[in-house]
Amino acid sequence: MNYADVLKHLAEQNLYRRLTNVRIIDSSRAIVDGREVILLCSNDYLGLSSDKEVIDYATSELSNISQCSSRLVAGNDPILVELEQRLAEHKAMERALVYPTGYMASLAIAALADEHSIIYSDELNHSSIIDACRLSRASINVFKHNDVAMLEELLASSTSSTATATATVATSTHHSRRIVVTEGVFSMDGDMARLDEIGRLCREYNAMLIVDDAHGDFIYGSNYRGTTEYMNAEDYVDVIISSMSKALGCFGGYIAGSEEVVEYLINRSRTFIYTSSLPALFARAALKALEIIKDGKIAYDGDKNKKILHPQDRLITNAKMLREALAREGFNLKGSTHIIPVLIGDEKVALEFADMLLKHGIFAQAIRYPTVARGSARIRVSVTALHDEDTLKYVADVFSMVGKDLNLI
Ligand SMILES: Cc1ncc(COP(=O)(O)O)c(C=O)c1O
């Protein structure tokens, strides 16, 4: 097939992707086609990306736009080292390592495995994890989404028990390293991994546990350490991957783990070694955003003097309010978190739904195959701490009207 044929085929199947010009005002508002609309697809869940303190701090000592070099050559700005210390403290892990993007941090999983390893991966894991699995050359076992029983079956079937003087130790029959990898909050289904149970299995079967918590980090848990803290699973987790371009409102990715894992990645992770470092500008922004999160205060842009306590609480309250309103209208919703997937099913109808929302001043994306399974297209609604009650009521009303027009409810 040539490129034109592929594009034609995609269009026929309602799977063609188009870029929309969007100028973000803050995480709740944007300019689309020259007019202000309600934004329902930002991952800036706490509204930090437009925070004035963050912007001022990021740009205050700006002497260059970028280090224009790999960390291992001339790119290791001390601000990155400081950020890594703060991120390691945030995660209560020995060390952290910053990557230029969350995608590149996820790809580092490839370095943690090799052709002698076996990786157990949740079927709904993000594409960056799928790509990392492929790059690693490890054997891959995909388990059904959050299916702990299936994961146990897979772990057990590749395990033999070896009696030692003190204990019975589970070891892999064929593989030198076993790795279980899952997201924390699933980006397209908005549910949480059963990390406590998965963690216990990893311990029992002597497998390493890697969690990509791009969407739960800085939100969940009493110290905002993410899904692992919220699920009481921190002791089971060996490596955490996260993004700074979601709730932290900045840019870049990072990995937290042991001293040994981080030193290993510095020496072996191709997406760390062979690319330019995260610009110091973003590292400064992330440091300030992290400080604000730890303080529990966020300044609202647009209402300069308004400070709110615990934006995470506000985010959860907003998500609950909108989830309940949409469920009352009869929509089929997935998950339980601040990511609210409104299931539509048919790809064409999902596109029509998004178009109709935009006509009513709401910008939300129709998510289709291959990001989600065929026939399970959805509108992925992400609420943020900056949406207010009236806006969310309006959103629920418009969803209801469009849902009725399209015979979905
Ligand atoms: C689970 C998960 N991991 C990694 C990434 C990539 O993060 P970034 O946007 O920082 O590259 C995403 C982005 O959506 C994601 O959802």
pLDDT, tens digit, for every residue of 225-269? Answer: 999 999 999 999 999 999 999 999 999 999 999 999 999 999 999
| Cβ contacts of 296 within 8 Å, gap of 6 or more | 309, 310, 311
More confident residue, 304 or 242: 242
The pLDDT of 84-109, averaged and rounded, is 98
- The confidence band for 296, taking pLDDT boundaries of 50, 70 and 90, is low
Flag whether pLDDT at 192 surpasses 80: yes
How far apart are the CA of 103 and the centre of ligand 1, in A? 5
Q: Where in the chain is the domain with CATH 3.90.1150.10?
A: 3-51+299-405
pLDDT band at 166 (very low <50, low <70, confident <90, very high): very low
Residue (of 259, 312, 307) closest to 93 by Cα position: 259
> Which atom of ligand 1 lies closest to the CA of 125?
1
Question: 165 falls in which pLDDT band (50, 70, 90)?
Answer: very low
- The answer on pLDDT for 308 being more than 70 is no
pLDDT of residue 173: 59
Cβ < 6 A, ligand 1 pocket: 101-103, 106, 126, 128, 183, 187, 212, 214-215, 243, 245, 253
- Beta carbons of 289 and 250 less than 8 angstroms apart: yes
Residue 121 near residue 147, CB atoms below 8 Å: no
**Among the atoms of ligand 1, which is closest to the Cα of residue 245?**
10
How does residue 306 score in pLDDT terms, banded at 50, 70 and 90? low
**What integer is the mean pLDDT of 20-37?**
96
Kindly report the pTM of this predicted structure.
0.93
Give 249 Cα–ligand 1 centroid separation in angstroms: 13
* pLDDT attached to residue 295: 78
Instruction: Kindly give the number of the ligand 1 atom that is closest to the alpha carbon of 104.
Output: 11
CATH class of 66-278: alpha beta
- Under a CB-based contact definition with an 8 Å cutoff, are residues 183 and 212 in contact? yes
Q: How far is the CA of 400 from the centre of ligand 1 (A)?
A: 30
Model confidence band, residue 161 (pLDDT cutoffs 50, 70, 90): very low
Helices (H), 92-171: 102-107, 109-112, 127-136, 148-157
| Residue 167 confidence (pLDDT) | 42
How would DSSP label each residue in 8-70? HHHHHTT-------EEEEETTEEEETTEEEEE-B-S-TTSGGG-HHHHHHHHHT-S-S---S-
Q: 3-51+299-405 has which CATH code? A: 3.90.1150.10
Neighbour-count burial of 135, counting CB atoms closer than 10 A to its CB (0-12 exposed, 13-18 middle, 19+ buried): middle
Q: What is the pLDDT of residue 39?
A: 98
Mean pLDDT of the chain: 93
Pick from 41, 98, 106, 188 the residue to mutate for probing ligand 1's pocket: most ligand atoms within 8 Å of its CB: 106
User: Which atom of ligand 1 sits closest to the CA of residue 43?
Assistant: 14
Whether 122 contacts 181, CB under 8 Å: yes
Residues noted as catalytic: 187, 215, 246
Pocket test for ligand 1, best of 126, 219, 338, 339 (most atoms within 8 A of CB): 126
Measured in Å, residue 89 CA sits from the centre of ligand 1 at 22
pLDDT(297) > 90 = no
Query: pLDDT category, 163, cuts 50, 70, 90?
Result: very low
Confidence of residue 372 (pLDDT cuts 50, 70, 90): very high
Taking a C-beta distance cutoff of 8 angstroms, is the pair 297, 93 a contact? Answer: no
Question: Which stretch of DSSP H or E encloses residue 294?
Answer: helix 280-295
Q: What share of the chain has pLDDT > 90, as a percent?
A: 90
Task: Mark residue 34 as left, alpha or beta (left: phi above 0; alpha: psi -120 to 50; beta: remaining).
Answer: left
**Which pLDDT score, from 0 to 100, does residue 160 have?**
53
CATH 3.40.640.10 in the chain, residue ranges:
66-278
Give residue-wise pLDDT tens across range 319-354.
999 999 999 999 999 999 999 999 999 999 999 999
Residue 1: pLDDT over 80: no
Protein residue whose Cα sits closest to atom 16 of ligand 1:
187
Burial class (CB in 10 A: 0-12, 13-18, 19+), 295: exposed
How many A from CA of 105 to the centre of ligand 1?
9
Closest CA to 244 of 350, 368, 91, 366: 91
Ligand 1, atom 7: nearest CA belongs to which residue?
A: 102
Give CA–CA dist 403/223, Å, rounded: 38
DSSP code at position 103: H
Radius of gyration of the chain (CA): 22
Closest to 174 measured CA to CA, from 212, 224, 118: 118
**pLDDT (average), residues 104-110:** 98
